[in-house]
Structure 1
């Protein structure tokens, strides 16, 4: 798995030191998930991590029945709760017995500030060719529709996902200025944002949201490899307005047709109401624009996620 979003030019500083000694201690303290037998693991702890993101890093530690394992470790104090939230939701989704359109990460064990997971071979959706991105976007639309339509367990609230759009105005203005877009693109971004703000706010039940389904959080099997894509990084999962999830979905393939696919598969109360739907569409495009601006301001255009942001803002 390339399995973490592309590394931004400047990661936030880590306040939880993670070194080889810390990894060894965490491995010794792992508590297995139900049905997992850790004694069958062939331990081979690497000297260095394989990947590092904003909140976590991935450290190879061995294999279980031929499947490579990595320890996903919090690198910042604020990430601790995200790992626990992720495991809670993944347990619930697997326990439902529902056939999902995409795969979920396989959590094998937990320790303080860490989870043991299977490594996923593949590449993130932002690094794939256009035809693959379109196909994966359709799978993601069906995946989110299925998740949103199911029960929503009690999970901690994410302060920037699933929330009223109006609470993100300051961040939108800051990122719009930093993006320094050509006049036509800036005008389009402002118009989409204002349309979202003018739309009726979400008043339905609080749906279960992934929180951050952008293309860097979808792992696609390598060309020729069997199986569906995997939706990873559930640490931002929350409950609330589905528009923020749909904004992340639009980063994969910015078209109204993708939103229509989501609507066809979703079954939450109100999805068939045209007024509710039209307001959701406007809010979703506003969220997508907000997220695209954040990507453009954080990643160069040559990076997969930087390109994702530019594609949406030019659509």
Structure 2
């Protein structure tokens, strides 16, 4: 490969202030979620964030019942709406009253452009070993089947998830050129992409989607810690074609067997129709290829997400 990055990409510059003064103001304005007792929080606001991503910063602010709390605060203006979507969907999923195959982030309170959440200990699926990735992928198939099969609340549309594949054609071609793949992998990527474009488009109801269930958005407990993995970062949640979610799922373990596990658990109208299913499979592999190209152009091959992209393209 040529021109591949050697480090993880830096997030875009923040256009909202993320400093100690803003964090203190937001903590003073927190509105508790139902059943959340903020009076028991032991406040200890750190001087610096613990982590910072593309859209949000995670700032330690204290503990509740021995669990570390962080304020997840928007660092870019375009991120504000994402937090609102996330809260809407997490409330809906928690209100289903059913045991989900994976855990959800625990939101305790809200403030303007921020949410108070429990810190989730663990490592991402992208940085886990092969056996762990396989186990988590199976859980994710069941989780997505549950999410897709339920009611879809009104949430804002994501312009790059759940949409017709044809709207992502320019991005695919640009990333394919940038990836500079060996000829055989380039042909395989193009074949999968064009097979997805040729498949029948999604005609069913608009399903609720996570939006971005790639291996970096699943946190796995480290050895000795109890509980299932947690599906995080619901800011890209949207409604539409489930193929884009399934494409993200295939980045965990690129296999048709994983898609079949999803099918066995899903209950949306049309899932049993062979023509609908075959078209969905083709679009899902096309989405996975599109996402994998994006990862290998952004991350080094020895980093978790870069490695996930390379595994998909070589499968």
Give, in whole Å, the separation in 2 of the partners of 1:304 and 1:21: 34
SS in 2 for 1:305: helix
Give, in whole Å, the separation in 2 of the partners of 1:259 and 1:224: 30
- The equivalent residue for 1:101 is 101
- The equivalent residue for 1:267 is 267
CA shift, 1:113, in A, is 1.1
SS in 2 for 1:103: coil
Matches within 5 A, 1:29-178: 29-178=29-178
Give, in whole Å, the separation in 1 of the partners of 2:54 and 2:226: 30
Using structure 1 for the length normalisation, give the TM-score.
0.97
SS in 2 for 1:135: helix
CA shift, 1:108, in A, is 0.2
Give, in whole Å, the separation in 2 of the partners of 1:248 and 1:231: 12
SS in 2 for 1:147: helix
* Segments of 4+ moved more than 3 angstroms: none
Give, in whole Å, the separation in 2 of the partners of 1:186 and 1:228: 36
Give structure 2 stretches of 5+ with no counterpart: 1-6
Matches within 5 A, 1:149-298: 149-298=149-298
Deviation by residue 1:133-172 (Cα, 9 ceiling, x = unmatched): 0000000000000110000011000000000000000000
CA shift, 1:8, in A, is 3.2
SS in 1 for 2:42: strand
Query: Which range is displaced more, 33-42 or 141-150?
Result: 33-42
SS in 2 for 1:21: helix
CA shift, 1:299, in A, is 0.8
Give structure 1 stretches of 5+ with no counterpart: 1-6
CA shift, 1:188, in A, is 0.4
Using structure 2 for the length normalisation, give the TM-score.
0.97
Deviation by residue 1:204-231 (Cα, 9 ceiling, x = unmatched): 0000000000000000000121110000
Matches within 5 A, 1:18-37: 18-37=18-37
Deviation by residue 1:113-149 (Cα, 9 ceiling, x = unmatched): 1100001111000000000000000000000001100
Across the two proteins, how many residue pairs are aligned to each other? 309
